[in-house]
Amino acid sequence: MKRLAIFASGGGSNAKALFEYFKDNEQIQLPLVIANKEGAGVFGVAASFGATAIWVKKSQLNNPDFLLPLLQQHRIDGILLAGFLLLIPPYLVAAYPKAILNIHPALLPKFGGAGMHGHHVHEAVLAAGETVSGPTVHLVNEQYDEGRILAQQTVPVLPDDTAETLARRVLEAEHQLYPKTVAAYFLR
Ligand code: GRF
């Protein structure tokens, strides 16, 4: 059995998809949410699935003496980033080798890296004239969006797409791709 923590900064729709997928799963449990924005939507999501949600400031994330005991206390085996905007510090990557996953809303290695989040990603995809986009699930290392790619799912980019319509289509694909990739990876 694996106990995974979700790290999120925003609305938490991917967190919700993960909770729904694993709610009756005995092999994977999601007991803890770490959020770096007070009042983020993901707090409500965590509460509705009975998970503990903790607000962690950037300085606390970067402090191993704060974060590692917290994760150990909840017996966390791995971490799922779901719209988490802070860079994961090297000590955490070292503490959870090959056990931190992220979902990115574009087909990496294109359209990744610092600053490539939210609408910026979809605007860049449209500006480049891409005909397909879609989410990527990858392992996390010390660089933004550069760890090994585990899975991708493509969606079409339509001629009249805006960043908003494309984001919605990609997000729906994220909700399908992330849970099944997490299951395949941690239960391998
Ligand atoms: C998603 O688009 C994800 O790919 C990105 O951040 C967004 C989070 O959305 N990393 P939500 O909070 O899961 O709704």
Question: For residue range 115-163, what is the model confidence (pLDDT) as tens digits?
Answer: 899 999 999 999 999 999 999 999 998 877 789 999 999 999 999 999 9
Q: How far apart are CA 159 and CA 129, in angstroms?
A: 9
Q: What pLDDT digit, counting tens, does each position of 4-18 carry?
A: 999 999 999 999 999
Residue 73: the pLDDT is 98
Residue having the nearest C-alpha atom to atom 6 of ligand 1: 83
Could you tell me the distance, in angstroms and rounded to a whole number, from the CA of residue 159 to the centre of ligand 1?
23
- CA–centroid distance, 22 to ligand 1, in Å, is 18
What is the rounded CA–CA span in Å between residue 42 and residue 47? 9
Q: What is the pTM of this model?
A: 0.96
Quick one: CA dihedral 163, 151, 89, 79, positive or negative?
positive
Contacts of range 113-118, beta carbons closer than 8 Å, 24 or more positions apart:
113/143, 113/144, 113/145, 113/146, 114/144, 116/144, 116/145, 117/85, 118/167
Length of the chain: 188
Q: Which of 103, 123, 137 to mutate to test the pocket of ligand 1 (most atoms within 8 A of CB)?
A: 103
Give the burial class of 28: count Cβ atoms within 10 A of its Cβ; 0-12 exposed, 13-18 middle, 19 or more buried.
buried
- Tell me, yes or no, if 122 is annotated catalytic: no
Residue 13, ligand 1, Cβ within 6 A? yes
Q: What residue type is assigned to position 152 of the chain? A: Q
**Burial class of residue 45 (count of CB atoms within 10 Å of its CB; 0-12, 13-18, 19+):** buried
Q: Say how many Å lie between the first and final Cα of the chain, rounded.
A: 12
Which atom of ligand 1 approaches the CA of 81 most closely?
Answer: 10
Q: What is the pLDDT of residues 66-111, one digit of tens each?
A: 999 999 999 999 999 999 989 999 999 999 999 999 999 999 999 9
Burial of 107 (0-12, 13-18, 19+ CB in 10 A): buried
- Cβ 11 vs Cβ 41: under 8 Å: yes
Question: Which pLDDT belongs to residue 115?
Answer: 87
| Nearest ligand 1 atom, CA 83 | 6
Active-site residue, selected from the candidate residues 74, 104, 117, 119: 104
User: Which pLDDT score, from 0 to 100, does residue 114 have?
Assistant: 85
